[in-house]
Amino acid sequence: MSESVIIAEVNKGTVAAVTAELVSAALALGTTPTVVVPCTDASVADGAGFEGVSKTIAVKGDCFTNYDAASWAAAIDAAAPTGIVIAAATPQSKDVAARVAARRGISIVQDVVAIDGMNLTSPIYSGKAMQTVALSGDAAISVRANVFPAAASTAADVSVVDQSGDVATAVQEIIARASARLDVSEANIIISGGRGMGSPDNFSHLEKIADTLGAAVGASRAAVDTWDEIPHSMQVGQTGKTVNPNLYIAVGISGAIQHLAGMRSSKYIVAVNKDADAPIFSHADYGIVATWEEALPVLESAFSSMMA
Amino acid sequence: MPNIVVLVKRVPDTNARIVVSGDRVDLSAVKWVISPYDEFAIETALQHKEAAGGTVTALTLGPSDADKVLKDAKAIGVDEIVRLWDDSWSELDSNAIQSALAQAVTGLGAEVVYCGKTAADTGAGSTGPGVAERLGWASVSNITNASFDGGITVTSPVEGGSARVSVSGNAVISCDKGNMKVRKPNVKGIMMAKRAQVNVVSADAPVSTVSIVSQTPPPAKPAGKKFEGASSAEEVARLLRDEANVI
Ligand SMILES: Cc1cc2nc3c(=O)[nH]c(=O)nc-3n(C[C@H](O)[C@H](O)[C@H](O)COP(=O)(O)OP(=O)(O)OC[C@H]3O[C@@H](n4cnc5c(N)ncnc54)[C@H](O)[C@@H]3O)c2cc1C
Ligand SMILES: Nc1ncnc2c1ncn2[C@@H]1O[C@H](COP(=O)(O)O)[C@@H](O)[C@H]1O
């Protein structure tokens, strides 16, 4: 059986849930995975034990204090230099995986959503088509979240490797997000508002539901472009973020092709729109034809009583 | 004064309908454009030149029909346009594309490269960091802002917010939309672009080890349920819990 190297996804100092899904992807490829955990404190890797994993390596280095693509790739590559590289399809891990692949002179296939032997499928043309490729050698791949089942956790047998890389960029300042709210790229549930929300103040109704569900709040480009209060970091779509949550609730969003590009692969889509002919309804699992003014209070009280 | 390269790629217009015929996407009827994020890369490159002097060269890897996007870049204001191609190439994988681009960047003597965050066809975001690694350069991806006061300082997303990062030395910088307004070609630019010469160069590309098996339409979703009226929201909430199991 050939080997693979899983780059663990570390979020707020802990190993993120998607890492367990990467283990299933590695097994689907017929490989035996080693999990590599980039960290400054090796205890993080205690959360990276999974059934089916042969080794867990904490790669402990000063370079992991801030994100710097060059040093991260160098340190991770040095700690586990052979095998198929598997990372989560988050912006940062896709970036690191691309550099690790380039270091080794191998190819990379991003955003994999299905694995069949050595055949990998990922979306192309913003999800307007799917492409299946065959690997005939080592490669790096990134895997979308919520596609593969999570491997069961076990106690991790961690070996610690002290390994840093030469940091090529200098962080001047970290600007914290204005709100403590979850980012759309990190959330399992997203509720997004569009131009139909009428004003940025009305996004408070979305935030209320987001708080009930532990969801992130997103926006269409029309909302971001129209209202200064809605930052680009909330934008979902072709020129915003690509998201793949379990549940995406689109409120006052028409469903333009560029918006769909960023969210069509969500497991479940709910649309609230007053126009029964809005294109978003063709993509929604559950559509509610109503104004948000009427529908959101009903939705919010139903969710509240469920979560209580 | 910096020698600046900006990578531009020809892609189908993002409004284009993508049709599959046989087991390949049929692009014979689509309108072609510069990949949307590459417009931000061009804008950033031009701003860099305006602040620090130097030249901006637009580089694309593609067959002769890619000349059009180079001319479009020229009309927006780049100085030189270069196309990288070898007639023996077809369906190059990322390793081949990045190797060839890195050689061309070296050949042009560039010190900084701007590119798009992701190309509209691949959606990958691999090329910027991959080319940087091959050149032994720094890379910063998905920047939303850049300033050129002495060196290069960019804003890029990090966990919990964004970081202002300065880059000293050579780097590949991939550009997100951010709050940038891109300039549009003017009449003079369009006239100059018409007469501009595309400089064609070649490179060695390693054999591709990733080959396309098939391209297919996205899986059809089963038709959803549509409800009239706000009171149905209660039913939808229940279905999300009991049928979809997502709450
Ligand atoms: C190159 C390019 C890239 C783009 N990238 C993106 C992108 O990343 N993301 C993105 O979202 N868009 C993107 N767009 C823009 C996209 O084409 C649409 O213009 C945009 O998505 C529309 O946003 P919207 O649905 O909020 O607004 P609209 O299209 O104006 O729709 C508003 C909707 O709200 C409904 N509505 C109004 N009032 C109410 C009410 N009281 N209650 C309920 N419903 C109501 C209306 O029926 C309507 O359907 C891009 C466009 C281009 C050309
Ligand atoms: N064939 C190409 N020619 C020129 N630039 C390219 C090419 N492929 C990718 N790029 C650049 O790399 C960016 C990211 O592409 P990708 O890695 O395919 O998502 C694009 O936005 C372009 O700036």
Could you say which of A67, A267, A287 has the minimum Cβ distance to residue B224? A287
**CA-B130 nearest atom, ligand 2:** 17
Could you say which of B37, B133, B230 has the minimum Cβ distance to residue A295? B230
Q: What pLDDT score was predicted for residue A178? A: 66
Average pLDDT over residues A234-245: 92
Grouping H, G, I as helix, E, B as strand and the rest as coil, residue B243 is: coil
The 10s digit of each residue's pLDDT in A290-300 is: 999 999 999 99
pLDDT bucket at B220, cuts 50 / 70 / 90:
confident
Kindly determine whether residue B247 and residue A174, on different chains, have CB atoms separated by under 8 Å: no
Distances (CA, A) of B156 to A173, A294, B186: 11, 39, 30
- Measured between beta carbons, the chain B residues lying within 8 angstroms of A67 are 158-159, 163
Q: How many CB atoms lie within 10 A of CB B200?
A: 12
Q: What pLDDT score was predicted for residue B219? A: 86
Residue B175 pairs in a beta bridge with B116, B143
pLDDT bucket at B175, cuts 50 / 70 / 90:
very high
Q: How many CB atoms lie within 10 A of CB B168?
A: 12
**CA-A239 nearest atom, ligand 1:** 8
Residue of A nearest to B126 (CA): A98
Q: What pLDDT score was predicted for residue B35? A: 97
Kindly determine whether residue B211 and residue A268, on different chains, have CB atoms separated by under 8 Å: no
Residue of B nearest to A232 (CA): B178
pLDDT bucket at A25, cuts 50 / 70 / 90:
very high
Kindly determine whether residue B215 and residue A132, on different chains, have CB atoms separated by under 8 Å: yes
A154 lies within 8 A of chain B by CB: no
Tell me which of B7, B91, B210 to substitute to probe ligand 2's pocket, judged by most ligand atoms within 8 Å of the beta carbon.
B7
pLDDT bucket at A85, cuts 50 / 70 / 90:
very high
Average pLDDT over residues A63-87: 97
CA gap B247, B237 in Å, rounded? 8
- Measured between beta carbons, the chain B residues lying within 8 angstroms of A131 are 212, 214-216
**Residue owning the nearest CA to atom 49 of ligand 1:** A254
Kindly determine whether residue B224 and residue A73, on different chains, have CB atoms separated by under 8 Å: no
Residue the block writes with tokens 């992701």: B118
Closest CA to B182 of B6, B11, B16, B17: B6
Q: What pLDDT score was predicted for residue B177? A: 87
Average pLDDT over residues B99-105: 98
- A157-161, A175-179, B27-31: which has the minimum mean pLDDT? A175-179
Average pLDDT over residues B236-246: 94
Chain centre to alpha carbon of residue A167? 25
- Measured between beta carbons, the chain A residues lying within 8 angstroms of B218 are 123, 127-130, 264
Whether B89 has a pLDDT exceeding 80, the answer reads yes
Percent of chain B with pLDDT over 90: 91
- Nearest ligand to the CA of A142 is 2
Distance B8 CA to ligand 2 centre (A): 6
CA gap A14, B31 in Å, rounded? 46
Q: What pLDDT score was predicted for residue A1? A: 62
Q: What pLDDT score was predicted for residue B105? A: 98
Kindly determine whether residue B214 and residue A137, on different chains, have CB atoms separated by under 8 Å: no
Average pLDDT over residues A99-103: 98
Residue of A nearest to B93 (CA): A107
Predicted TM-score (pTM) of this structure: 0.90
A256-295 residues touching B, CB cutoff 8 A: 257-258, 261, 264, 267-270, 272, 276, 281, 283-291, 294-295
Q: What pLDDT score was predicted for residue A308? A: 83
The 10s digit of each residue's pLDDT in A172-194 is: 999 887 667 888 988 899 999 99
Q: What pLDDT score was predicted for residue B73? A: 98
Kindly determine whether residue A247 and residue B130, on different chains, have CB atoms separated by under 8 Å: no
Q: What pLDDT score was predicted for residue A138? A: 95
The 10s digit of each residue's pLDDT in A105-118 is: 999 999 999 999 99
Kindly determine whether residue B141 and residue A91, on different chains, have CB atoms separated by under 8 Å: yes
CA gap B233, A78 in Å, rounded? 53
Average per-residue pLDDT in chain A?
95
pLDDT bucket at B178, cuts 50 / 70 / 90:
confident
Kindly determine whether residue B218 and residue A127, on different chains, have CB atoms separated by under 8 Å: yes
- Measured between beta carbons, the chain B residues lying within 8 angstroms of A128 are 17-18, 218
Whether B118 has a pLDDT exceeding 80, the answer reads yes
Distance A146 CA to ligand 2 centre (A): 27
Whether B156 has a pLDDT exceeding 90, the answer reads yes
A98-127 residues touching B, CB cutoff 8 A: 98-99, 101-103, 105-111, 119, 122-127
Average pLDDT over residues A240-260: 95
Whether A247 has a pLDDT exceeding 90, the answer reads yes
Average pLDDT over residues B121-150: 97
The 10s digit of each residue's pLDDT in B40-87 is: 999 999 999 999 999 999 999 999 999 999 999 999 999 999 999 999
The 3 state secondary structure assigned to B178-231 is CCCCCCCCCHHHHHHHHHCCCEEECCCCCCCCEEEEEEECCCCCCCCEEEECCC
